[in-house]
Structure 1
Amino acid sequence: MPRLFTGIEIPPEISLALSAYRGGLPGARWIDPENYHITLRFIGDIDARTADDVASMLGDSRWREPIVITIEGLDTFGGSKPRAVFARTSGNGELADLQAEQERMMRQIGLPPETRKFVPHVTLARLKNVSPIDVADYMATRGHFPKLAFTANRFVLYSSKASTGGGPYVIEAAYPLS
C-alpha cells in the first residue's frame, strides 16, 4: 500500500537557507533539506485503486493560481513536551483555501476527515525525549531570521515509506498552480 500526502515543494535556495538552522539541539532528528515541504493533506496508507482515485481527483483541482509563501521564523509543536521544530509560514489564506479544497476532494473519495488543524509549516527536526530547556535555548538563539519568500507554482502528490519520519519522499504526480 502506498503512503500518500499532498504538499508544496520548497525551492532549493529556500531549503539551503533553512538548512543553516540544523544542529545545536541535542537529540533532534534533523530532516534532510531535500525532503523539506509544506504538507497540505496527509492521505495515509491506501490501496492502489484508491491511490489512482486520489491522483485523478487532484487533477480535477480548480485551484489554478500560484501562491506566494513567506517563511518568517522558527517555532515548535508540542508545548511543554516539544515534538518538532518547524519553520513558520505567514499570510497563507490561499494555502488554507487550497488545503480545504483538497480536504473536500479526499472526503468525496471516501477518505476519513483530517482531524488536525491545518498549520502550514516546514518541519526541520523531529524531537523525542528532548529537554524543553534545550529547545527553549535553541529557539532563543535561532528562532528569528529574515523572512524567506517564494512562489509555489504547483502542488505535488508525494509517497513515502513507513518510517520514523523525514523521508525520503517521492513525487508521484505534480499539479500546476498557473
Structure 2
Amino acid sequence: MPRLFTGLEIPSDLASDLGMLRGGISGARWIDTDRYHLTLRFIGDIDYATARDVCGTLEQIRRPAFTVTLEGLDSFGGGKPRAIIAKAKPAAPLVELQAEQERLMRRIGIPPEPRKFTPHITLARLRDASSAAVAAYLTTRGFFSRRFEATRFVLFSARSATGGGPYLVEADFPLG
C-alpha cells in the first residue's frame, strides 16, 4: 500500500538557504534539505487501484504556473511547539490549486483532509523543545523571505514511518 501526498518541490538553491537556518534548538530533528516540500494534499495509505485513480484524476488539473512567496519562519504547536516551518503566503493560485485537489480527491472517495490548509515547508520536527527556546530561535533567525516559481506539482510516495522519507516522485503534473 503506498502512502501518497501531493506537493510542490523546493528548488535546490532555496533548499540550501533554508538548510542554513538549521541548529540552535535542543530536541529538534532537522529535515534533510532534499526532503523539503510544500504539501498540498495528504492522501494517505491507499491500495494500488485507488492510487491509479488518484493519478488519473490529478492529470485533469489545468492551472497556470505561479509564484510561491515564503514570508517568514514560524512554529506549529503554540505552547507545545512541534515543528519549525517556513510559512508560504496563501496566495490565490496556491490556495485554489490545493482546493481543487481536495475536491477531486473527495470525488473519488478519499476522505476529506481534516486540517485547514496552511502552506508551509517543515524545517524541523520538535520533541520536548520549550516554547521559550523556539521563540528565541525565531527571533535570532530574523525574517526569511524568498520566492520560487511553481511550474509543476507532484505526487509523492513516502514510507509509513516517522518523518516518512525518503520521498519519491511517483508522477508530475505541469502547471502552465
Same fold (TM over 0.5): yes
CA displacement, residues 76-119 of structure 1 (integer Å, 9 cap, x when unaligned): 00000001000011152110000000001100110110110000
| Residue 16 (structure 1) aligns with | 16
Would you say the 8 A contact 1:31–1:166 is kept in 2? no
Letter in 2 for 1:126: R
Letter in 2 for 1:105: L
Shift of 1:174: 0.2
Note if 1:148 corresponds to 2:146. yes
Instruction: Tell me the TM-score normalised to structure 2 length.
Output: 0.97
| Structure 1 stretches lacking a partner, 5+ long | none
Q: How does 1:27-176 map to 2 (within 5 A)?
A: 27-63=27-63, 65-145=64-144, 147-165=145-163, 167-176=165-174
Q: Partners in 2 of 1:114 and 1:175 — Cα distance? A: 21
Instruction: Tell me the TM-score normalised to structure 1 length.
Output: 0.96
Q: Secondary structure at the match of 2:168?
A: strand
Letter in 1 for 2:41: R
Letter in 1 for 2:122: T
Quote the sequence identity (%): 57
Q: Partners in 1 of 2:127 and 2:149 — Cα distance? A: 33
Shift of 1:140: 1.2
CA displacement, residues 8-51 of structure 1 (integer Å, 9 cap, x when unaligned): 00000110110011111111010100010100000000000000
Q: Secondary structure at the match of 2:54?
A: helix
Would you say the 8 A contact 1:29–1:127 is kept in 2? yes
Would you say the 8 A contact 1:41–1:102 is kept in 2? yes
- Specify whether residues 71 and 139 from structure 1 end up closer, same or farther in structure 2 by C-alpha distance, changes over 3 A only: same
Off by >3 Å, runs of 4+ in structure 1: none
More deviation, 123-132/1-10: 123-132
Q: Secondary structure at the match of 2:121?
A: strand
Letter in 2 for 1:11: P
Cα root mean square deviation, aligned:
1.0
Note if 1:26 corresponds to 2:22. no
The count of aligned residue pairs is: 176
Would you say the 8 A contact 1:7–1:39 is kept in 2? yes
